[in-house]
Chains A and B, each alone.
Chain A
Amino acid sequence: EPEVTQTPSHQVTQMGQEVILRCVPISNHLYFYWYRQILGQKVEFLVSFYNNEISEKSEIFDDQFSVERPDGSNFTLKIRSTKLEDSAMYFCASRTGTGGAEQYFGPGTRLTVT
């Protein structure tokens, strides 16, 4: 069964460094999402991406964040200058273009900023 994959599973970085989190959505999916979960808290929406552009973003998704679909398979989340409070689990999700279609989640990348 097709699945969403994410790399790396765990990333440790120093404050101020840039990180890129990578996701490979399911191949026929058209909508892509990033969510964040700070340890012990709820999952929060960051951004959605469709037709090579951002379709919606949350207040969390400030100028330090960017997303890109550099080729036909990868979907990346870049944090330009990480802060301690960026430490969290980051989930990628994707779905088809059908209205009401499920969002399939990847296993997540745990980002630790020291």
Chain B
Amino acid sequence: AQTVTQSQPEMSVQEAETVTLSCTYDTSESDYYLFWYKQPPSRQMILVIRQEAYKQQNATENRFSVNFQKAAKSFSLKISDSQLGDAAMYFCAYRSPEGAQKLVFGQGTRLTINP
């Protein structure tokens, strides 16, 4: 079974600075999808960014980018120019392309933005 590990329970960063959240995963599949979700205090799950494993190019969405290292099974999220609204729980998630395609989540990292 696939597992996702986020080793940083909490992170903090100064406003306008850059922060990187770590995620590793374990799988025997060669093709899969990886995601970062943001969960603000409202607890809504908001998709931040996705990466297809077959793509070598790292995904970017405005201030958010990933460093996808397939051989190392690592998928980190970089947030540039951090804003107060970025404060939230961030969850890394894995999804197989087969079967029901359920999401397997990591434990989450709570990100605090210091003004």
Contact = CB atoms under 8 A, between A and B. Distances in A.
Q: Do A and B come from one complex?
A: yes
Contacts of B102: 33, 45, 48, 56
Given A42-B91, A100-B52, A107 B44 contact: yes
B101 interface: yes
Given A43-B91, A108-B44, A31 B100 contact: yes
A95 B101 CA distance: 10
Interface in A10-61: 31, 33, 35, 37, 41-45, 48, 50, 55-56
A93 B95 CA distance: 14
B105 A43 contact: yes
A103 B50 contact: no
Nearest to A104: B47
The contact size tier of chain B is 20 to 34
Contacts of B93: 43
A48 B101 CA distance: 9
If over half of A's interface residues share one DSSP class (helix, strand or loop), that class is named, otherwise mixed; here it is strand
A70 interface: no
Contacts of A42: 91, 105-108
B99 interface: yes
A103 B103 contact: yes
